[in-house]
């Protein structure tokens, strides 16, 4: 039987034909094979190696197909995760509200005509993940004030914690009991 170098060379020849679009088919003929490798093999050895190489290419094609399927599944999962860009608006009509887990990633809309307070609770009471973002909209005429719960720090540029009517702000949890506040804030 021919040595392993012959098999290796045939693998390279067939792999080259696969890259040209033969999709793993053993497209090399016996005569061409002997001419390309510069040695003489018998027909039986050639057919044995051809079958081995064809199976190897089929296995590689299957592995590639499986990898492509796994990659497509990952792409689909990422697309599904980002497909819902329409966020829920949680409307609150009272003058006082404390953030709840259902507000995470959504818009809190405070609509009372009087002055309003939105309290950011401590992690022990409502365990938002670090990185949670809550957008807040104030309407109805009364000013909204952001209030920290017990042990909570709200960081805001120039210590502004108020939001006038028809304005937006964003709360971002940056540590266990620390939130950053930014937006059209007033004192």
Q: What is the DSSP string of the chain?
A: ---HHHHHHHHHHHHHHIIIIITT-----HHHHHHHHTS---HHHHHHHHHHHHHHHHHHHHHHHHHHHHHHHHHHHHHHHHH--PPPEEEE-SSEEE--GGGTTSEEEE--SS-EEEEE--TTTS-PPTT-EEEEEE-SSSPEEEEE-TT-EEEEGGG--EE-TTEEEEEEEEETTEEEEEESEE-
The answer to whether residues 50 and 69 belong to one domain is: yes
Answer with the residue of higher pLDDT: 105 or 56: 105
Last residue of a domain, one of 52, 83, 114: 83
What are the tens digits of pLDDT across the range 107-156?
999 999 999 999 999 999 999 999 999 999 999 999 999 999 999 999 99
136 by Cβ neighbours in 10 Å (0-12 / 13-18 / 19+) ranks as buried
The answer to whether residues 181 and 95 belong to one domain is: yes
Question: Taking 80 as the threshold, does the pLDDT of residue 77 lie above it?
Answer: no
The answer to whether residues 94 and 178 belong to one domain is: yes
The answer to whether residues 94 and 72 belong to one domain is: no
Mean pLDDT value of segment 89-103: 96
Give the chain's radius of gyration (CA, Å): 33
Domain that holds residue 29: 4-83
Choice among 7-11, 39-43, 92-96, 113-117 with the minimum mean pLDDT? 7-11
Q: For the chain, how many structural domains are there in total? A: 2
The answer to whether residues 62 and 120 belong to one domain is: no
Q: For residue 58, what pLDDT is reported?
A: 73
Last residue of a domain, one of 41, 56, 83: 83
The answer to whether residues 70 and 133 belong to one domain is: no
The answer to whether residues 22 and 93 belong to one domain is: no
The answer to whether residues 93 and 182 belong to one domain is: yes
Q: For residue 69, what pLDDT is reported?
A: 76
The answer to whether residues 95 and 78 belong to one domain is: no
The answer to whether residues 96 and 165 belong to one domain is: yes
Mean pLDDT value of segment 55-81: 74
Last residue of a domain, one of 22, 56, 83: 83
Q: For residue 22, what pLDDT is reported?
A: 46
Structure tokens at 10: 């045939």
Q: How far is CA 140 from the centre of its chain?
A: 38
How many C-beta atoms surround the C-beta of residue 183 within 10 A? 18
The answer to whether residues 69 and 94 belong to one domain is: no
How many C-beta atoms surround the C-beta of residue 134 within 10 A? 22
Tell me the whole-structure pTM to 2 decimals. 0.57
């Amino acid at each position: 039987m021919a040595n392993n170098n012959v098999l290796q060379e045939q693998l390279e020849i067939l792999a080259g034909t696969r890259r040209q679009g033969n999709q793993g088919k053993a497209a090399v003929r016996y005569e061409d094979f002997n001419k390309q490798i510069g040695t003489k093999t018998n027909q039986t050895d050639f057919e044995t190696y051809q079958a081995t190489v064809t199976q190897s290419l089929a296995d590689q094609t299957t592995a590639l197909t499986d990898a492509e399927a796994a990659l497509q599944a990952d792409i689909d999962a990422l697309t599904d995760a980002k497909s819902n860009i329409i966020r829920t608006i949680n409307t609150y009509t009272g003058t006082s509200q404390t953030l709840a887990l259902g507000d995470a990633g959504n818009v809190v809309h405070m609509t009372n005509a009087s002055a309003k307070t939105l309290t950011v609770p401590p992690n022990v009471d409502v365990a938002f993940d670090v990185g949670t973002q809550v957008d807040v909209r104030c309407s109805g005429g009364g000013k909204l004030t952001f209030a920290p719960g017990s042990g909570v720090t709200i960081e805001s540029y120039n210590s502004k914690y108020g939001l006038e009517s028809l304005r937006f702000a964003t709360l971002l949890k940056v540590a266990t009991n620390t939130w950053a506040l930014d937006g059209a804030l007033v004192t």
